[in-house]
Amino acid sequence: MELSGQEPVMDGLGETALWALYHRSLAARDPACGLADPKALELVQALDHPFRRRFGTDNRGWVRGMAVRARCYDRQVRVFLARHPRGTVVCLGEGLETQFWRVDNGTVQWLGVELAEPAALRRRFLPDTDRRRTVTCSLVDERWMREVDASDGVLILAQGVLMYLPWDRVRALVEACAARFPGAGLVFDTPPAWFTADTVQSRFRYPARYRPPPMPWGMTPARLRELRTCPGVAAASQVPVPRGTGLWWGRLVPAVDRVPVLRSYGPLFVTRLLFQPEPAPAGPPPPKHS
Ligand SMILES: C[S@@+](CC[C@H](N)C(=O)[O-])C[C@H]1O[C@@H](n2cnc3c(N)ncnc32)[C@H](O)[C@@H]1O
């Protein structure tokens, strides 16, 4: 990615952040999507990127899907903040997400983790504050963990990013987070395996012929079971997604979501992991009775 004048020119993974922002901003314009996000609209305007030419205009299904995904994450954050008002939310691969402005309760600590160029773009348009900052670091590099204040609870989010990493890296990330943040949660989404296979074989294109980077794996019930066996993982479950709008996101997806054997085939697989709490410190030995 390079920053040229006002217009960010990105390729590969960095451009996916612009794609996601653009779709959320379109959702924010449509009251039926139920996603109030004035900051996304403001940011799209400020970026002055050729969004329509690059990503197309015939995107209604994607727009509705992005709204459902964002609302699903917002719900997770609100539940967390109800219990940990001063907790820390970590957003791995935060891109240009404006979630902070949708869910801020005035006391949350917010930490974004991004690769160098998207992080620079983010800081330029969404400068750090005392409660919200972006660290430049790959999410597979454990350096970001040192930046997390874990004193009031931690929720880690990985929205729209883990499908771009190899599965063994994802497993290693889960294990590292579980070891470092006992009692915390990790929420991430992936498309299902039938979808990601098309991206690897370059068969898949969005409108305007935009092609996403390959996604080497997709979520399946077998992978969910595998995550349950990772050291430090107490629970792993598929999160029900909120009802969206239109035939697909308003009716079919919620119907599929209600049937356990079909749920994993839906277009959006959101996973929530809970890490085992720290073991209570060993107390004094019991008194000896003679
Ligand atoms: C599809 S975008 C999603 C952005 C944001 N989470 C959202 O939902 O709008 C994927 C983001 O992950 C970032 N990313 C990809 N690999 C990463 C890595 N190894 N470490 C940190 N960020 C990464 C990309 O730079 C990009 O901003």
Q: What is the 3-state secondary structure (H, E, C) of 200-235?
A: HCCCCCCHHHCCCCCCCCCECHHHHHHHHCCCCEEE
Nearest residue (by CA) to ligand 1, atom 25, is 14
Work out the average pLDDT over 132-149: 97
Pocket test for ligand 1, best of 25, 62, 115, 137 (most atoms within 8 A of CB): 115
Kind of pairing, strands 109-114 and 132-136? parallel
Q: Is the pLDDT of residue 203 over 60?
A: yes
Our mutation pick for probing the ligand 1 site, out of 10, 11, 13, 142, counting the most ligand atoms within 8 A of Cβ, is 13
What pLDDT sits at residue 3? 31
pLDDT tier, 290 (very low <50, low <70, confident <90, very high otherwise): low
- Give the mean model confidence (pLDDT) for residues 187-198: 86
pLDDT of residue 225: 95
Q: Does residue 11 register a pLDDT over 80? A: no
Coil, strand or helix: which one is 116? Answer: helix
- As a whole number of angstroms, the distance between CA 98 and CA 90 comes to 13
Q: Distance between CA 154 and CA 23 in Å, rounded? A: 28
Determine the average pLDDT of the residues in 170-181.
Answer: 97
Least confident of 27-41, 81-95, 173-187, 250-264: 250-264
In angstroms, what is the span from residue 282 Cα to ligand 1's centroid?
41
pLDDT band (50, 70, 90) for residue 229: very high
Considering only CA atoms, which residue is closest to atom 7 of ligand 1?
97
Q: Which residue type does 77 have?
A: V
Mean pLDDT of 196-212: 73
Interatomic CA distance for residues 290 and 287, integer angstroms:
10
Domains and CATH numbers, the chain: 2-275 (3.40.50.150)
Residue with CA at minimum distance from ligand 1 atom 13: 93
For 98-135, how does the pLDDT look when each residue is reduced to its tens digit (9 = 90+)? Answer: 999 999 999 999 999 999 999 999 999 999 999 999 99
Residues 6+ apart with CB under 8 A from 129: none
